[in-house]
Structures are given as structure tokens and as C-alpha cells.
Structure 1
Amino acid sequence: MPSGDVLVLVDEDGRVVEWGRPAEELFGRPAGEAVGRSLGALLRGTAMDAGRPHAGFPDGVSVRIEPVLRGSSVLWRVRAAGDPALSQQDVAVLRTVFARTPVELLVLDRRLRVVRMSAAFGTARGTRAGSPLGLHFTEVYDLDRPEEEAEVARRVLESGEPVLDRLVHGPGSPERRGCRSRSVCYFRLEDARGDTLGLVASAVDVTDREKAQDRLDLLEQVRTRLGQVPNVGIVCRELVDAVVPALADTAVVEMVDDVVRGEEPPKVPVHHDVPLRRAAFRGRLSAYPVGEVRPLPPGTPFAEVLSDLRARLVAIDEHAPWLAADPARSEAILGSGADSLIVAPLALRDQALGVVGFYRERDRDPFDEDDLRVASAVCAHAALCIENARQFMREWIIASTLQRRLLPGQPAGRPTVEVSRLHRSGPEGGGAWSDAIALPGARTALVVGDVAGQGIVAAITMGLVRTALHTLAALDLPPDELLARLSETAGRLAAASAALPQLDFEPLDIGCVIAVYDPVELTCTVARAGLPEPVAVLPDGTSATLAVPAGPLLSGPDDAPFPATTVDLPAGSTLAMATTSFAQRVLAPSAPLRPLLDGAATRPLQEACDAIGSAFADSGAGDETVMLVARTGALPADRVLTRALPAGAEAAPIARAAARRQLAVWGVAEETAFTTELIVSELVGNAVRYGAPPLQLRLVLEQMLTCEVSDSAAGAPHMKHARTVDENGRGLFIVAGLADQWGVRYRAQGKTVWAQQPLGAPLDGR
């Protein structure tokens, strides 16, 4: 018999609907006797007639059975096949697969309608009531995207390319709430000639597998996301962001208030009076605002968790007694639609850091034991991150407090220089600082420094270096020599630090730039160690980077020099010096904020600095950095007396007379004027005896009265303690007793001995 010939067409009850001519020839029965009768009875009768003790088709005949959809009914068509053995295997396999496999199988026709289903499909969740036969397969399942699935099935029908392990989602059943996930495969169904008959679709519920994978993904996200920023509040916010909605619909973190403030966490059991701070919240309704501090009412699962540090799985019932203990929380929980709760501790060993509440609403599966284990693991990792942040915050608070105490306040105003400081603290505090130090002769030393590192060590080192700098500046050393002496100090600090019994010693590196502005000469002398070059904005709006050779960092062992550069700086200029981060964004020629600095010449200094500071904050720079901006001014000419002196004994009377006249013009008090004449006489007498011509007297009146006597000798004067019988050697001893401060400043040719004293009440009452 030719393969493919139609033998019989049978309905769902096994009765013959059509009896083809090949069947008449094969079985010897006309169609009139077969149609309407049971096919099984016909086959049994034929077998007995043939003398065989079993029912079936004659030897040598194999058949292929195919489903046929006619209207809303499924019929079965029996065709002749070429290989009897293969046909028997096919029938056995199909019968077993459709009856016993746990996989949901659907046979679809070319219009994607269901023509056959496996036994597992009949009990599958998500099917509609009644028989699915004849329905489009997207009507059988409740899918999130039915049109998309229909398009995928059509592509398989057209191309023959199967689709394997496609993940689809749909709503759950009354027994299992929440979204269900299925792994779906599509295969094209073809006959022996290769003609398309339809599709076979298989589906396996993989919801539990996907949930397990989601839990692993959540744990991995928590491990990689939490604790990147060592801040307790940020870690708590990262925690609720990670678990909502992946694990819960709402999450609440409540921390022991002492822990938030960096204090030691309490031991378990935690007393019910211990205040807790609501540190983070994400979800639908909140009983209390984030930041509110209040104790937990006793008798609630939250208080119980803080008593034994054991996580709890709690079913939410509006009649539960613990809800009545906290009405505000109860109203928020019931109003959000939550009906499942996990309460887990944030704890390390026997110390409680806080407690976390995880809530699920009614449209999701309630929490189970697996969820409880995941929540406990999440909280255990979060507790480690919070403890690290607490320890860091404690050190940060100490370092920040220490740094604030060691840093100078806002620089005191001087008539010749206006100073504004921009200081952006880093996350751990550090050693960046700036200074404006008053020098004799109305000069000002402008300083920016940066100690490498962070935390308490950097802050302490900054305080030591800054103290040494002020001590050395009082000696009126030029900037290059000041940096050289400061480098020696840094070397001693580094040696002392290296000798300490610590495991993680880091070399001490200090950057510093010093500029000394002279409002009389209108010059600025700059030397730098490691930090970027300063920038000057002239009164006409033009700007230039000051070409100051770079010296080494103040690390001690290097004996390299610190070259100094002196530039003219007219009154009304703006000088900016900064550590590296500020310099990269503001001082560099192509820096994004350089236009704000260039425009500072036409704006008040504080206004220009505020604009730069605001723009710098928006740039997102995170490390500690400092910038010092100074607006220069000239000391009025009538506040300076300069007088050349002869090299002989007559120099002292001439200097005293000139000083007397000028002090009278300035209205200096008589007592101060008398003292000044005596100082001038002693300084000039010392220069005549030990110095070399030419000699010069200069009086400078600013906030202090400064007397300067210059000569061309390089030798340093020494103060002697003269005996009663000595006739000489009392000059500098007298000056030291009369002046508030005195010293020597060396120049390229010679030296200047100076003494300064505070101003008394002026003669004219000004």
C-alpha cells in the first residue's frame, strides 16, 4: 500500500467517520459497514477473522496517526506509513509522552490552534476553564505579552527554526500568587513529505528556578553595591534600594541612634527605651519620616528581634496584638496592602546595630523560609558595611574636628591685601590648608599646602607643618629659604613617623607654595614645592600663569633647591594659588572654570570666589582641595618714609630728626614716637659701626609701625647681653626690649634690620 494513503478518519470517541477505499481493500469491509462503528471493535473483528489472537492492523502494514481539527472537534486521521516498526515506536512514544511526561505539551495546527495536549497540561496552572481544544494557544495561557509570543510561534512555523528555552511570564494562579515563569520551546511539525502540519509547543514551570536565581542575583548585588561609600546613612539607603522590589515591596531600616552618631552599639538584649532612628525607607506608605528618633514599643516583632537577634517570618493580621502596640505603624502597614513581613536584625556578634522590616503585598507570594534566609544574609552583609562605616565615621569625626581646630579662621583683613579662601573637604578629611601671614613692612605671606593622605594622621601632620611654618615665617625668611627649612622639618617628622611600630607606614609627602606680596614695592616673590603654579589676573582683565620653577615635595631627604621668582604685581591684581584638584579645574589655561577666574578682576573678590566655589561643587570633585585668592592693594605713599643716610656718625641724628618729623605728621602718640626715635638711633648706630654703605632708613605705617635700616654688608648682627661696665654692645639688646618684634631680612645685596611696634593712641585723637 502506498505510503500516505488515508485509511480511516476517527472521532474523539473512537468511532469511524470516514472509511477510505484503501481501508476497504485492506480489511475487506465496505464503508457502509464501518462508518459509525468503533474502530477498536472493527480491528478486533478483523484480527479474529484472520486467526490472530490480538487486535491490530495486518502484518506488513504500518500507520501514522494525525490529529485533524474540524470545526471545534478534533478528529484522528490514520495514514499508511512505510515502515511498520517505526510506526509502532512512534505510537508508543507519543502515547507515553502525552500521558506521563510532566512537561506541558501542546500540538498546534497551522493557525496555532490547540489540537492535542498532554495530560500534564490539563492540570497546569494558568489555563482557562473548559477544554482548550480549538483555542488559539495564547488564549490557553495568561501571558504578559501574548502578541509577542504569537509572533515568535509564527516565525517558527514559517522558518522551521526551533526556539529553545524561551522565558515567558504571566500572572499566577489562586494557589500561587505572583508572577509565574515558564521555559517554552517551539518546534515545527512536518509530515513525511516535509509539508507543515503545525507546531509542537512545550512549557515547563521554572518559577522556583527563576526565584532562586533572583535571590542569588540579589545577594551578589548587595555584596557589590553596599558599602562603597563609608557612610551609615548611605549604606542604609543602598540597602532598601537593593531589596525593593527584588525581594520586598517595602523596606524600612531603623538604626540604633548611637550607632548613627558613631558611638559603640549596645549589647543584646537591647532595652526598650533605647532610641532608634529611621535611617532609610522605600515603599508605599511610611509611618514615620526618615530621620525621626523614637524607641520601639515592647511586644512587637521588631523589639523581639533586638532581644535575641533572630530573624522572624511574620504573617500580618489586622487583629494581631503587636499592631495595636504601635498605631501609626499599624495604619501604614495595613494601608499599604502588606500581608507578609520579615523582621531581620542588623547585628555583629552580640551587639545590635538596628533592625530591618521587609514587607510584601497581597499580589505577590508571601515570604517563605528561603526568603527568610536571603533576608538574613542581606542584613548580615549590610551590618558589616554599617560597622565599617561607623568606624570610619568615628575616625572622620575626630579627624574633621582636629582639622577644624588646626586650620586658621578667615584671614584677618589687611589694608594692602584682601584674601578669600575656598576649602572643599574630602570624605575622610585630610591635610590641605591655606594661610595669610602678616610680615614686617606691611608685607603678607600667602600660603597653600597639602599633606598627602587622609584622616587623623594627615590632619595632625598638617597641624605640625603649619606650626613650623608660622615659626619660620616669624624669622622673616624669604620664600625659598622658608621652604628649605620646612623641608628639613618634614624630614624629621618623616623619620619620627617611620620609627613608630606601625605596619602600613607611608612616606610623608607635603606640597606647598608660598608667595610674599610687598605693597610698597608692588612685587610678589613666589617659591613652590610640588604644587601647581599660581595665576595672576591683572586689573585690565588679562591673566597669566606665573612661571615659577618647581621645587621637590617637602619630603625631607632631597636637598634640591626651591628657586624663587619675583614678579611685578600692580595694585588691584588677583592672585590665585591652589592644590592640584582646584588647579586642574580653575588655574590651568584650558580648565573649565578658568573663565570665572579671568573675570574676577571686574567683580568683588568674595562674589567671584563664591561663583568659582559653586561651579566647582557642581563638577563633582570628591577629594579635599584648597584655593586661596588674594586681591592686592598698594600702601599709600604718605604711609612710607624712605631716607638715605650717610655712612658716618652724623647718620644717627639725621635719622632721628627725619623720624621725629614723620611721626608727627602721622600723629603717632608721644610715647610711641619717643620709643621709635630710640629704636631708629640704635639700628642706625649698629649699621654705621658694623655695616657697609650705602645706608637707608625706612618707616612703614600700616597696622604696625615698622622701622627698617638697610646696608650692603652681609654679616648678621648678634644681640649681646652687655655687662654694666661695658660701653658697647647694648644696641640690639635695647631694640629687643623696646620693640614688639625684630629681625633681619637678607637681600641680594646686603641686609635689612627691622623692628616693629604696635601703635599707641595718635596725638590728634584719631
Structure 2
Amino acid sequence: MDTHAGQDPQGKRYDPAAFGEWAFVQFPIGIAVYDRDNRLVRVNDEMIRLVGMTEEEMRGRRMTEFLSGRPFEEFAAVAARVLRTGVPVRTDDYFPAPADGRERATACFFTPLTDPDGTVQGVSIAALDITEEYRAQQRLALVGDVSARIGTTLDAGRTAVELAEATVGRFADAVGVDLLEPGAPEGALTLRRTAWRTVTDGEAPGPPGGTAPYAVPPGSPPALALASGKPSLHRIDEPGVREWARACGIPPDGARSLLLVPMNARDSVLGLALFVRAGTTEPFDAHDLPLAEEIGTRTAVCIDNARRYARERSVALTLQRSLLPARLPSHSAVDVTSRYLPATSQAGIGGDWYDVIPLSGARVALVVGDIVGHGLQASATMGRLRAAVRTLADIDLPPDELLTHLDDLVVQLSQDRAAEGDEPREMGASCLYAVYDPVTRRCVMARAGHPPPVLVTPDGPARFVDLPEGPHLGVGGLPFESLELELPEGSLLALYTDGLVGGDGPAPGAGSETLRELLGRSTGSLDRTCDQLLGALLPERPADDIALLLARTRALDRGQVAGWELTPHPSSVADARKRVLAQLGEWGLEELAFTTELVVSELVTNAIRHAEPPVQLRLIRNGALICEVSDGSSTSPRMRRARAFDEGGRGLLLVAQLCRRWGTRFTAGGKTIWAEQPLTEATGVTEAA
């Protein structure tokens, strides 16, 4: 018995060579054999199927004689090289198959055929159809690329455009994103075209009316897809599809296949992604559904995040703007203007703020601060600190003491937050507080971890104020130092947060130097200067909030201020009244003489009886009549309700009833009690004077 012969169940015997022939013909990989002249000798059935021609049509011919096109010219060149060198080669290509014109991926193995002497006598080409594996890899690559390209900004419209740009030409010939329109009537579906891209002209017209919302008819393909929450395949020639495609802005001419993908995120339907294949592109099939669903889900999450961010940003920005001054007060001490710009980064709104606070004695406080962090928490903290600054300014604390109290508040807020378990990290803030007096033209300022102000005097260059740098608010336990300057009238002070200068921090950097140079060259109005600074310093999308406060100083004329030093004797009360009445006569304020005389009598009497010398009296006429009595005592008077038989205790109560405001501020040599009366039309002078 021949052990090398084959035998079937019926006992038939076959020559072993037949097995080799069968293997060649029936092998599932296409095989073609070429001789030394690169002419076809043999092909198997799979290669015949791939090429779409009979063996007789191909035998004895070179490849380029029966197949045309770029890939086959390259294949012929590779085969010639293998015949010449005897080195096998593998190629991978994606091209239309000759048999049916469908795009296929093929791995081709070019193997030299040698005789027993090792001489190359021909070449075999084995073609393996790897289309499905190739498309699977392409799908994975597309998902990865789409994931990397979408959601780069927290903007829903931009995310929709990114999806269209990432998939057009790779997954579809045209891509659209239609988002559900909020506020539609009950039971109605309304979509708005947010993005549309095609392989031919980039952007194509959307539905009738451009980007205007359009209604989705009940029972239409998008309505069914949105209701099911699952992607759906459609041919353009299906009943009703062509009409709907034309109505929603998809040009039906040339379109072959549609894939509608609902975009769902967090149990909410946001809209629909539309993928269109046209021309010779293969129609969508079931293999495309998981890929499209994955892309739609990832896009939906990004769009939902963008919308949530937009809502939170809107709330934070509304809160931030409501906590900032609605308008800056008109003040005789300074001419001021300001700007606030929120951050456009994904971090969210910060806690930058500014304020202009009128103080006693015609003085004014200028404040700029910056909360560490972003979002609603930063805006809320900013509001608390701004209110605290106003409260501390109202009791006329010097800048260094005010920052010390503010530092204690931030430490307490940080401890309260830690106790509530909201955030493990500590709070922090920076602040610059300055007080300017138009009578003496002196400015006292202090800073806590904040960039130094820029000062531009009328006769000098712009420079940074050499202000001692204190620690950030919230560090606790460290002192702050203040600096006092005399400012010529017309000096310009620029207070700002580090977002304006690129995050330089408390020490001047490149951005701060640019700011200084620009301020030194500025000659226009404060509003124009603000606009010039923002235009020159800010990027298109600022990463941090910006607060800018510009103040040009004024000085009160000597004719608006009158002062006297009084001897600490009861007879000085009458002398003070006499001087005040004479001064009011010079100013034409006789209508205020009676009230002012009573106020001066009470304040000077209290100073002589209960305080220490020196005792000084000062009147300031500046949109209001301000009466100030200073002494050398640091004891603060308190207003109390006098009982029926008390002989004293009614002085400050009387002052409070007669004047609009009154208060006490402490100085290095004692204290000053002040009272302010409005200038009415009866006096011939208004508040705006």
C-alpha cells in the first residue's frame, strides 16, 4: 500500500500531487505566479475572484497589461524588484478592487521562486484581504482622534464643529450636528443646525433659514431616532427620507446613505449627529453603528459639560458683576475709571474686584483685590471680602491695620470651610488698599501679596511704587507695612490684578514692565487709557480675570479749607463759633450757620472737657460742609441716650440729628471727630460742586 497516496471513504486513491494542486487552487488567499519575464503563469480561484477576470484572460500577460491604475503599477514594480534581488517584500494598500470597485485593504506578499541551484526563476504574489481588520483599526483610530479633537473648549457650538471637522472625509462625506432647541412647545421637537461640513466645500448651507431652528415632523427619521435613543441607518431612496433630507438641509442629490446618531448624556437627549455618504463611497452598514454611537456619546458628554459650564459661568459672572460696583462714585479727590473682564479659560470666573470708597474729610479709598481660585466659591468669597473692606474703611482704619483685620477674616473663613469639609485647601487672597487725602495731597497705601501700583506724576516717568510687600491674606500672624507719599495734583495711579500682566504675581515681571511703559506714554482720557492697556496686554482669550482701576488725583484749593488751633479753655468755644460764622459768610453758606454753630459748640466743648491738647478745628467745603475737631486723646467718644435728669450726654446725639454723617478716625497724634452736612439748593451750592 502506498502510504503517500490519499484515499477517500469510497476507497478512491489520489496522487499526492493532486493535494498540492487542490491546495493551490482552493487556498483562501489569492495567489498568482509570474515567470522571469514577469508574465502570469498560474492563479488560484481566490485571486480570480479578487481580480474579476478568468485565468485565460490573464495568463501570459504582465500585470499592467490587464490591470491599470496606480496600485497595480506599483505592484508590478515591486515584483520586478523581487525578481532582480531575490528579496521577499510585503506591501499593504487600500484601493478599489478590480472585481467590484469596492475599497479593499490588501496585504500582498511577494516571494521569489528559486530553482534547486538557487536561481530566481519567478515570483509569487499572495494577496490577503484584510479589509475588515483595516476598517476596525481605522474605526479605533477615528474614535481616538475624535476624542482628542473634540471638547478642547467648553463651548457647545465649537464642540459640534470639532465633531464635524474630525469625521468629515474619514467617516462620512458630509457631517451635521443639530442640537435640540430649548424652550420649544410641549411635545414639539425643534432642532437647530449647529455645525455642517462636507468634503467638497468645507461648509455647506444648512436647513432653510440658515441656522434658524426647524421643526422635526412626528414619525420622521430624526424623530424616531431621538425617541429610541439609538443610531439608525437609512437609504436616501427610502420613503420619506429624501423629502426629510431636503427639508433639514441635506442635499439629496448624490447622497446614498444616512446615519442618524442621537446624542445622549446623563439621561438627557441633546440633539442629533447626521452622517451622510454620497457618490462612490460605500453606504453605511451595521459595522458602523457602534462607532457612530461611541462618537455621538463622547460628543454629547462634551456638549453637556460645555452647557453645564456655561450655566455655572453665567451664574458666577452674574454674581461677580452684582458684587462689583454698579458705577464708580463721582468724587472730588480723584477722577476714576475701571475695567473688569472675566476669564475665558475652563477654570472659570475668578474673584478679582475693585472699589472706590468715599471716606471722611473728603478722602477716598482705592481698593483692588484678587481671590485665589475660580468659580462660584471665589465670587462669593470676593463679595464677603469687599463688604468687609467697606465696613473696615467706614471706621477709618489705616491701610496696614485694615489688611490685618482682613487677614484675620480670611483665616477664619478658611477654618470654617475646613470644618464644613467643603475643600481641604486653604483660602487665600491678595489686596491693595490706598487712601488719598486731597487736602494734604498725601496717599497712604499697603498691600498683601498684590502687585505694586504704577505711579505716573505730571513731571516724571511712570514707575512702580516701592511699596513693602506683605504676605497674602490668609497666611495669618504676619504684619503689614504702609507707605505714605505726597502726590502732585494730576498724578495717575494704576491699581490692577495680575491677570492684566500675565500672572506676574506680587513682583514686577515682563507684563508689568509693558504696563509701566504704556502708562508712561499715555496722554488720553482715563477711559481711552484703559482700552489701550487692555488691547495691548490681553490675549484673545484671557486665562484669568482682570481688574483695572485708574485714578487721577485732584487737590482741594486752599480757599476750600479753613483751620484753627484752639487753646484748651472754655472761652475757646465762643471764639470757635465766631471764626466759623465768619468763614461761612465768606463761602456764602449763611444758611448753614445755625446748624454749624451748634455742631462746633458741641464738638469743641467735648474736646476741651474730655480730651487732651492740641485741639484743632477745620472746615472743608467740598460738595458738603465738613466740620472736624481734632485732639491729642485716643479715647473714642460714644453716643448714648441721656436720661431725663442727666445734665450731659446729649451732644453727640444732637450732632447725629443735625448732620448727615458723623464719625471718629484715629490719627498718629490722637483722633478726629467729624460731622458732615449736605450743601443744598438753599445754600446756592449743590452736592456736585
Same fold (TM over 0.5): yes
- The 3 A distance-change label for structure 1 pair 326 and 369 is closer
TM-fit CA distance, 1:564: 1.5
* Match of residue 406, structure 1, among 290, 312, 323: 323
Change (3 A) 1:163 1:621: farther
* Distance verdict in 2 for CA 1:142–1:351, change over 3 Å: farther
What value does the CA root-mean-square deviation take over the aligned residues?
A: 3.5
In structure 2, C-alpha distance between the alignment counterparts of 1:354 and 1:424, rounded to whole Å: 32
1:108–1:200 CA contact under 8 A, matched in 2: yes
Residue 648 of structure 1 aligns with which residue?
569
Asked if structure 2 preserves the Cα contact closer than 8 Å seen for 1:105 and 1:118, the reply is yes
SS of residue in 2 equivalent to 1:618:
coil
For structure 2, list consecutive stretches of 5 or more residues without a partner in the other structure. 1-14, 199-203
Matches within 5 A, 1:13-412: 99-106=25-32, 113-116=38-41, 118-119=43-44, 120-125=46-51, 131-132=57-58, 137=63, 162-164=88-90, 166-172=91-97, 175-177=100-102, 179-187=103-111, 200-258=124-182, 273-283=188-198, 284-288=204-208, 291-317=211-237, 320-324=239-243, 327-329=246-248, 332-335=250-253, 337-348=254-265, 351-412=268-329
Q: Secondary structure at the match of 1:390?
A: helix
Count of aligned residue pairs for this structure pair: 660
SS at match of 1:532: coil
The one-letter code matched in structure 2 to 1:695 is V
Looking at structure 2, the residues matched to 675 and 110 of structure 1 have their Cα atoms a distance apart, in angstroms, of 124
Q: 1:102-144 CA distances to partner (integer Å, 9 max, x unpaired)? A: 4444556778x44445323333248899945676646665555
SS of residue matched to 2:252:
helix
Is 2:480 the counterpart of 1:558? Answer: no
Percent identity between the aligned chains? 37
Counterpart-to-counterpart distance in 2, 1:595 and 1:443: 26
Aligned to 2:194, the other structure's residue is in SS state strand
2:302 alignment partner AA: C
TM-score with structure 1 setting the length: 0.77
Which stretch has the larger CA shift, 410-419 or 180-189?
A: 180-189
Choose 471-480 or 458-467, whichever is displaced more: 458-467
CA 1:176/1:237 → structure 2, altered by over 3 Å: closer, same or farther?
same
Is 194-203 or 179-188 further displaced after alignment?
194-203
- Structure 1 residues 327, 223: closer, same or farther in 2, change over 3 A? closer
Counterpart of 2:352 in 1: which secondary structure?
A: strand
1:692 to 599, 609, 612: 612
Counterparts in 2 of 1:384 and 1:727: CA distance versus 1, 3 Å: same
Partner of 1:28: none
Higher relative contact order (CA 8 A, sep 6+): 2
Matched, 1:416 2:333: yes
- State the SS of the aligned residue for 2:330: coil
Deviation at 1:297, TM superposition (A): 1.6
Looking at structure 1, the residues matched to 20 and 92 of structure 2 have their Cα atoms a distance apart, in angstroms, of: 25
User: Can you give the 5+ residue segments of structure 1 that lack an aligned partner in the other structure?
Assistant: 1-87
Contact 2:403 2:448 in 1 (8 A): yes
Give the drift of 1:212.
0.8
In structure 2, C-alpha distance between the alignment counterparts of 1:232 and 1:239, rounded to whole Å: 11
1: CA distance, partners of 2:35 / 2:337: 83
Alpha-carbon distance change, 739 to 163 in structure 1, aligned in 2, over 3 angstroms: farther
Residues 234, 241 of structure 2: 8 Å contact kept: no
Describe how 1:469-618 pairs up with structure 2 within 5 A.
Answer: 469-500=389-420, 502=421, 504-540=423-459, 542-555=461-474, 558-584=476-502, 588-591=508-511, 593-594=514-515, 597-599=518-520, 601-618=522-539
Q: Which moved more, 1:353-362 or 1:616-625?
A: 616-625
Return the alpha-carbon distance in structure 2 between the equivalents of residues 511 and 107 of structure 1: 81
How far apart are 1:344 and its partner, in Å? 1.8
Contact kept? 1:444, 1:518, Cα under 8 Å: yes
Indicate if the aligned counterparts of 2:591 and 2:683 stay in contact, CA closer than 8 A.
Answer: no
Contact 1:512 1:531 in 2 (8 A): yes
Letter in 2 for 1:543: A
| Residue deviations 1:236-281 (CA, integer Å, cap 9, x gap) | 23332332232222222222222xx8xxxx9xxx965233332322
In structure 2, distance between residues paired with 1:663 and 1:198: 122
Counterpart contact for 1:426–1:624, Cα < 8 Å: yes
SS in 2 for 1:714: coil
The answer on whether the counterparts of 2:454 and 2:516 sit within 8 Å (CA) in structure 1 is no
Say if 2:549 is the partner of 1:624: no
Instruction: Give 1:316 deviation, angstroms.
Output: 0.6
**How far apart are residue 759 of structure 1 and its match?**
1.4
Q: Which amino acid aligns with 1:232?
A: A
Quick check: 1:720–1:733 contact (8 Å CA) kept in 2? yes
Q: CA deviation at 1:365?
A: 0.6
Rounded to whole Å, the distance in 2 between the matches of 1:442 and 1:553 is: 30
Shift of 1:505: 4.9
Report the Cα distance in structure 2 between the residues aligned to 1:107 and 1:203, rounded to whole angstroms. Answer: 12
Cα distance in 1 for partners of 2:516, 2:66 equals: 68
Displacement of 1:542 in angstroms is 1.5
* Partner-residue secondary structure (3-state), 2:502: helix
State the Cα deviation string for residues 201-227 of structure 1 (Å, max 9, x = none).
443332322211111122223444444
The aligned amino acid for 2:48 is G
Report the alpha carbon displacement of residue 368 of structure 1 after superposing the two structures with TM: 0.4
Contact 1:410 1:421 in 2 (8 A): no
Higher alpha-carbon Rg:
1
CA drift of 1:288 comes to 4.3
Q: Give CA-to-partner distance per residue, 1:519-549, whole Å, 9 cap, x none.
A: 2222222222222222223334622222222
For residue 289 of structure 2, what is the amino acid of its counterpart? L
Relative distance call for 1:147 and 1:736 in structure 2 (3 A) is farther
Residue 683 of structure 1, aligned match among 592, 600, 603: 603
Q: Corresponding residue for 1:743?
A: 663
- Deviations 1:700-757 (Å, cap 9, x if unpaired)? 2223332222233333233343344444443333222222222222222222222222
Q: 3-state SS of the aligned residue for 1:705?
A: strand
